[in-house]
Amino acid sequence: MPKKRNCRRSEIEREIHEKAVSLRKLTDHQLIERLEQRFSAGFEAGKREAMPPEEKPRHLTEQLLLALAEDVKGVGPALLSKMKPVIQKVVGEEVANE
């Protein structure tokens, strides 16, 4: 197969050819170092993208807890009146801990 002349290559083909030649000239050790470096950089970038952003914890308020409790099947006005002092105590302790 005859050698392709450089004058007949496009600019992109020449750049690709130069990169390929430089890679072929690397020693085994240099090639492995370069591959490991690229792999670890790509792995770290993917790891950062996959991690969900840190969210601030939501603070539960008395009104929110009571509203959530009202939506639960079987929780009526009598049970809500029993739950209200407990919710107030828990929310009060949560605020005091901050």
pLDDT for 75 equals: 82
Could you tell me which of 62, 68, 67, 70 has the C-alpha nearest to residue 86?
62
Burial class (CB in 10 A: 0-12, 13-18, 19+), 84: middle
Domain spans of the chain? 6-50, 62-97
Q: Hey, how many other C-beta atoms are within 10 angstroms of the C-beta on 32?
A: 11
Report the C-alpha gap between 20 and 6 in whole angstroms: 14
pLDDT in tens, 43-55: 888 887 877 766 6
pTM for the whole thing?
A: 0.37
